């Protein structure tokens, strides 16, 4: 395995390359990991592409809910494409070096797409809130201009925030090691390599997490508290079941994403361990995007009907 390690005599300013250790400690499982990640990546691409296609071609799905779902599927493709191809490259070539610029670019795009996902989940919960709690006003509130603006805002809001945060993190010196105990360039393992006191950087990370994750999560909780209260007041069991079915899949995705991401970024640096960080990161970077098409399609009768119609046409 090729690894370019930093010797103790190197000056901290000469660090130009990191080493992504990833799953190198599992030397006997490299073939299995290669196959597993390849299959997962294909499943994510195919599943999310199918959702994008059927929401575009089926007239019954030309609604704000499915417009946001298509955006979400597009985002998941971008999100995992920042991480998984690099994992596969490292496994296939056993060359784990990554330049400081390459590491910064990977982190920046990962954080931007993560921010987009956080706000898009909040927007999707707001859409369900209006549809269930104010159904008569739904066409007026969720008009085409409005849901285009909400989607565009979700995609754009993270760019200035995360570009600034990435520049701040990589403006510091690195002297402990150049070996990253992770499978991609994420904030916690990078901060471990920084020289001196990183309390200021950790504080800025907490502030950003509150802005781009905790705040949207509170909006999701507020929306679903009102949604659940409204559903429980519906007169028929059939109506309650239908309303719950349209929300439960989204709520499951919300719990998986926000839960694992919050635990990762809101823990103090001293409590981070490489193994725990890898497991938690797998949830919100790979596992959740893999299950999203399954969750949204198998629990949604409209999507299943559109998929059957598309298959029959072919």
Q: Is residue 48 a contact partner of residue 292, using CB atoms and an 8 Å limit?
A: yes
Q: What is the pLDDT of residues 168-220, one digit of tens each?
A: 999 888 876 788 888 899 888 888 888 877 788 888 888 888 888 888 988 98
Burial of 268 (0-12, 13-18, 19+ CB in 10 A): exposed
Q: What is the pLDDT of residues 102-112, one digit of tens each?
A: 999 999 999 99
Instruction: Return the residue matching tokens 């080493």.
Output: 19
Q: For the structural domain made of 15-313, what CATH number should be given?
A: 1.20.1070.10
Per the structure block, which two tokens stand in for 257? 């994403």
3-class SS at 2?
Answer: strand
Q: Which pTM was predicted? A: 0.86
Report the pLDDT value the prediction gives residue 60, as an integer from 0 to 100.
Answer: 80
Per the structure block, which two tokens stand in for 279? 């497991």
More confident residue, 92 or 234: 92
| pLDDT higher than threshold 50 for residue 11 | no
Report the pLDDT value the prediction gives residue 299, as an integer from 0 to 100.
Answer: 64
More confident residue, 24 or 220: 220
More confident residue, 177 or 127: 127
| pLDDT higher than threshold 80 for residue 243 | no
Query: Residues with Cβ < 8 Å from 170, sequence gap 6 or more?
Result: 100, 103, 104, 190
Domains of the chain: which residue ranges? 15-313
Q: What is the pLDDT of residues 255-294, one digit of tens each?
A: 777 777 777 776 665 555 667 777 778 877 888 888 877 7
Report the pLDDT value the prediction gives residue 112, as an integer from 0 to 100.
Answer: 95
């Amino acid at each position: 395995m090729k690894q370019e390690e930093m010797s103790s005599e190197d000056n901290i300013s000469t660090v130009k390359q990191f080493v992504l250790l990833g799953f190198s400690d599992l030397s006997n499982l490299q073939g299995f990991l290669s196959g597993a990640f390849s299959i997962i990546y294909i499943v994510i691409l195919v599943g999310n592409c199918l959702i994008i296609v059927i929401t575009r071609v089926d007239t019954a799905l030309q609604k704000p809910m499915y417009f946001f779902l298509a955006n979400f599927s597009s985002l998941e493709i971008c999100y995992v494409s920042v991480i998984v191809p690099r994992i596969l490259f490292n496994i296939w070539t056993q060359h784990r070096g990554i330049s400081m610029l390459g590491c910064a670019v990977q982190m920046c795009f990962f954080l931007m797409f993560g921010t987009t996902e956080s706000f898009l989940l909040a927007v999707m919960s707001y859409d369900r809130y209006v549809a269930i709690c104010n159904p008569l006003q739904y066409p007026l509130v969720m008009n085409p201009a409005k849901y285009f603006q909400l989607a565009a805002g979700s995609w754009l809001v993270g760019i200035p925030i995360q570009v600034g945060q990435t520049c701040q993190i990589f403006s510091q010196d690195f002297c402990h090691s150049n070996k990253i105990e992770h499978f991609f360039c994420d904030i916690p393992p990078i901060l471990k390599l920084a020289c001196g006191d990183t309390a200021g950087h950790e504080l800025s990370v907490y502030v950003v997490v509150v802005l781009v994750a905790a705040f949207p999560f509170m909006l999701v909780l507020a929306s679903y508290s009102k949604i659940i209260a409204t559903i429980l007041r519906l007169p028929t069991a059939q109506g309650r079941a239908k309303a719950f079915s349209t929300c439960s899949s989204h709520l499951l995705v919300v719990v998986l994403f926000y839960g694992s991401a919050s635990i990762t970024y809101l823990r103090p640096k001293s409590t981070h361990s490489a193994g725990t960080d890898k497991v938690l990161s797998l949830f919100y970077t790979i596992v959740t995007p893999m299950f999203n098409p399954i969750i949204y399609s198998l629990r949604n009768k409209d999507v299943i009907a559109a998929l059957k119609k598309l298959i029959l046409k072919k």
